[in-house]
Chain A
Amino acid sequence: MREGSGVLVFSDNLDMLKRLSTVAAELAHSKESKLVAATLAGGATDNPDQLASFGYELIVRVTVEPPVAFPPELYTAMMYGLLKDKKFSVSLFDTSKTGMEVCARVSQRLGVGAATGCKRAWFDGSSFFVERLAYGGKFTSVQKLEREPFIVSLMPREQYQDAREAKVEAVEVSVTPKASSVVLEEANSRPLSGSIEDIERVVAVGRGLRRKEDLSLIQSLAASLRAVVAGTRPLTEDLKWLPHEVQVGISGRTIKPKLYVACGLSGQIQHIAGMRESQIVVAINTDKEAPIIQEADYAIVGDMYQVLPALTQALAQRTSTGQSS
């Protein structure tokens, strides 16, 4: 491996390390460098066999001394310790809250820029580019990073790499203990009752829903489509009318069902990022300028309170007249 090259990938989630490996491999191979995973010794991703099966060629297993309790500080210390010696040209992070925060903090310590929430990243010769959504998802921007290490947080993909033989290297990172650390008093996992990732049909609802009780309209449509109900961040986190595990978007789930029906949701960038790869998108919205309309294959500009009952009925009529599905 050429000194100063190498693609270093970090996530606190093993599945994300798998889903980042394809882009990381593309970047590494275009520079003839290694695909490297950073993992905290004894942490959730410390599983060399699994990492090798994702295609990582080198696993750097890090011990932080003295131990740091608060995860964002711990991971920032870990990644800064690995990147400051300039052994890597690219470092990839995921787009989770932790990934985005660590990405920003590490690049600040290194005195470089960072591109967060990117759709794509690639080399063209020695120049490094990223593509990301801008202005609420209506636009795409192409950006160039000028100084190594190129630090990027990337949306995960579904394609995977073949397994490799991986070497494991143990590294110790020393940290100067700070009086001003955040103290983690308590952590509780949020119950995740089921995955909506593998669902084929989804009906999602946003702030066009006026009352929690009106969810019955959405549920009727979902039932007639044999679909799952999902929601935007305002519906799940803010209003809490739906459980958080059906939140679709950057801070929730990224899904790619066959059919995605968006009811009364405008299509903010954070939401669209979570459903962009759906096969067919239907939008029902009173506002024909809503971003979701640009992301839809079929759109009905109208009040969902009128359209949904009509649509549910049209679906029921189709089935009852014995037409094929």
Chain B
Amino acid sequence: MKKVPNVSQLTPHPETGAPQLDAVPYKLNDFDENAVEAAVQLKEKHGGTVTLLTASRTDPRDVLPKAFAMGADRAIAVVDDALSSFDSLGVAHVLGACIKKHVQKFDLILCGEGSVDDYNCQIGPRLAELLSIPCITYASKLWVEGTHLKAVRTLESRLERVSATLPALATVGMEVNKPRYVSLIRVMAASRRPVTEVPLRDLPPVEKCLGMLSTLKVSAPKSLRKRLILVGSPEETSRRLVHELTQEGVI
């Protein structure tokens, strides 16, 4: 699970142009909600426990209650400011180390296909490689038959039906399900659910995974777009727009 900023509310700093990450509300990554929903549906059908795992630079206890309210049973979190400079290789290392030490036995790992803020789409595949388990990305349908995970993968120009022996890892997007609605009361009640916090220093050293990819600068792109906002009634703005587009020579 990834705690992500609500990107639609993120604004650039007036001087540096950098994103003001401490001035926005945070939420659960959208595709991770699909993953939780898929996990809970499997639990409702086959039994078992759903464990949430997250590594974030700030306390995720503000966003995890929703996942608990949806039906997750427990949560493990690595919280450390140092994580803000980790790339996917480093984060996968941390998550993998956590799984090996604190989860040990599992049947299935579900991830969102990517995060809505970075959309690197690397964590799922890296984690599967690290744990030497089969990897099924972009699952638009998934189900369990005995000791096998079955899925339909939706690619750009083909659909695949695949199967893998458990334990396995799958990544999902919005097509796999519609995350269930949970009331604010249930979410608030879930805010008291315990989260096992694992200090970064308790995990095997991550140094060899760091420093491979560093972010030098994040700034609002110099958009060459005109960004002309037409103001007025629908009729007035439409007439003005038709005029402008005619001038542009595109209609």
Contacts and interface: CB of A to CB of B under 8 A. Distances in A.
What interface size band does chain B fall in? 35 or more
Contacts of A314: 235, 238-239, 241-242
A301 B238 contact: no
B119 A270 contact: yes
Contacts, number: 264
Nearest to A251: B156
A111 B126 CA distance: 10
A146 B117 contact: no
Interface in A97-152: 97-98, 100-101, 103-105, 107-109, 111-117, 129, 133-136, 138-147
Contact of A97 (B119, B138, B174, B216): B138
Contacts of A251: 156
A45 to B, nearest CB: 14
Contact of A184 (B9, B89, B121, B160): B160
B104 interface: no
A216 interface: no
B92 interface: yes
Interface centre among A109, A298, A318 (most CB of B within 10 A): A298
A190 B175 CA distance: 16
Contacts of B119: 117, 133, 250, 269-270
B19 to A, nearest CB: 5
B217 interface: yes
Interface string A219-254: 000000100000001100110000000000011100
Interface in B192-251: 208-209, 211-221, 223, 225-231, 233-235, 237-239, 241-242, 244-246, 248, 250-251
B229 A288 contact: yes
B216 A142 contact: yes
Nearest to B133: A180
Given A139-B218, A306-B234, A113 B241 contact: no
A104 B134 contact: no
B238 A298 contact: no
B164 interface: yes
A7 interface: no
Contacts of B161: 184-187
A108 B130 contact: yes
Contact of B238 (A72, A108, A145, A313): A313
A187 B159 contact: yes
B137 interface: yes
A298 B8 contact: no
Given A141-B217, A182-B163, A190-B157, A201 B250 contact: yes
Interface centre among A100, A178, A190, A309 (most CB of B within 10 A): A100
Given A259-B245, A298-B244, A314-B239, A188 B158 contact: yes
Nearest 4 A/B pairs, CB to CB: A136-B7, A113-B212, A113-B213, A310-B234
7 contacts: A105-B129, A113-B89, A134-B117, A138-B12, A140-B218, A291-B7, A310-B233
